[in-house]
Amino acid sequence: MGAVQALVARYQGVTEPRASLNLSQTAELFDLTVKTKDGDTVTLSISANVLLNEKEGGTSLANESNFSFVVAGTLSDSEREAIDALVQRLGDIAGAYQKDGWTDVEFLDVLDGDVIAGLDFSIAGEENNALTIAYSLNADAGTHTLAVNQNDYKYEIDAETILASTGLALEDNDVYLQYQQILIDTARSYKAGEFSGGVRSVDAAEFFLDGLEAILTPLTPDKNGGTKAPKADVEDTTRNTGNGTINSDKRNYQSDPGFAKENVLPRKSAAEKEFISGIPDFCASFNSPRFTPNASNLGEVSQMSLSMEQVTEVSVSPGTGKSIEQRYSYESVVSQHFGIGRDSVEHANLADKKQPGGQTYLYEVVKQAETLTRTLDMDTNGHALAYLEEKDSEKLKSTKTVENGNIKDIKEEDLTDPRANYSYALQAVTDVPLRAAQIRDYVDIQTLEEAVKLKGINFYS
């Protein structure tokens, strides 16, 4: 396994004098466990001794490294090849992280889902920082999970797996673009993280987006160099003052991801294809580190948190047809401190608990939530019978102004747009009334199916 040998050789080099890496005194250079679908396990661990250089006030590596490579089971040629490609990519990620303290985490494009069932990966960085990755594939359930923690910027995403043969193109999918925009807008709105010791909001957004994109489009790797899904650019607000909205051409995509639990009526009608979102069901959470910059009030937390999901439920009635419900939702909380007047966010470290008083500042908490639920009833031939759409949203903002340690003003605002909450329904003219209490209008089947096609899915604007 050439990648393993190259990785060991690389880390033997960094233990030489004057090697430059951002490491904790544990010096865990590389720790990886890979599990294959056949039940084999490979464990690779590389560490080094760390000495404290008291004269220079820093740490340095002793000229000694420890290497462990253990295989439990018998690896086939395909397993060796898949693990080799994975080790090479994770080695590059580890090297970049230990050099710069932050890196792009992209590896699923080289992970062979036909061979590898999961991995656990960890790298210790400077001080208490670390990078950890956990990935698992449940082939029987048709789901997979990715959890990444980089310096306490972390996300966890559970999703249905989707085959490359479905032809899913995220850059053309309006639903994915809306989830993407939610993630970008939430991360960009959180300014306090960078000045509390974290990274720029644009870097955090890129990190989160990489995970969301990767888990929704796990591609079968190209043996000649790997495949990669296109990634949206995140606007760097330190250089550009635009609104950061991502636009796309509204093309007709023909993706047909299917549902893991559906085993009846496998062939989808035109109405159903127009109705479903085109991306697999998923649930995800994204969180920045938790900072408490005000030593006099530890209840004031600076943090960004976001959860979002898509859930599909299919019910089949023999001899009648089936009903499909898709729900799209998100909930975000962004809390942070702002300087007022000439004071910048960077210096909003507020009061010292030993010296009451301190800088004048504004503490702001913004909570947003939105859910769009769409339901399509169809007959046994796949023709639309009824369509229901309901949307609920909420946006609340609270602010507190503090001057010299004294609260001067507290404000609570409900910024919810009442027009964003509604219920809409149509039913085709049939002998069997469906959802009669909610029907707003009766139309013929052709008109109903055309309405479903043109309605689109809009839960974030």
Angle between helices 174-189 and 201-216 in degrees, nearest 10: 150
Q: What is the DSSP string of 303-341?
A: EEEEEEEEEEEEEEETTTEEEEEEEEEEEEEEEEEEE-T
Q: What SS3 state is found at 279?
A: coil
Q: What is the 3-state secondary structure (H, E, C) of 357-410?
A: CCCCEEEEEEEEEEEEEEEEEECCCCCEEEEEEEEEEEEEEEEEEEECCEEEEE
Token reading at 394: 């909420």
Mode of pairing for the β-strands spanning 143-150 and 153-160: antiparallel
The separation between the first and the last C-alpha atoms of the chain, rounded to the nearest angstrom, is: 50
Token reading at 293: 């910059």
pLDDT tens, per residue, the chain with 461 residues: 688 888 888 776 655 544 555 555 556 788 999 999 999 999 999 887 655 455 555 555 555 668 888 999 899 999 999 999 999 999 999 989 988 999 999 999 999 988 999 999 999 887 788 999 999 999 888 899 999 999 999 999 999 987 544 556 788 888 999 999 999 999 999 987 777 778 999 999 999 999 999 999 865 555 554 444 445 555 554 433 333 333 333 223 233 343 334 444 456 788 888 888 989 999 999 999 998 877 777 888 999 999 999 999 999 988 788 999 999 999 999 999 887 765 555 555 565 555 555 677 889 999 999 999 999 998 888 888 888 889 999 999 999 988 777 788 999 999 999 888 988 888 876 555 545 444 456 666 677 777 777 777 888 87
Give the DSSP H or E segment for 284: strand 282-287
What's the predicted TM-score (pTM) here? 0.83
d(CA 422, CA 391): 5
Degrees (nearest 5) of the Cα angle 54, 55, 59?
Answer: 50
For the chain, how many residues are written? 461
Is residue 339 within 8 Å of residue 332, measured between CB atoms?
Answer: no
- Amino acid symbol at 124: A
Any bridge partners for residue 320, and if so which?
A: none
d(CA 63, CA 13): 9
d(CA 362, CA 400): 6
d(CA 173, CA 277): 8
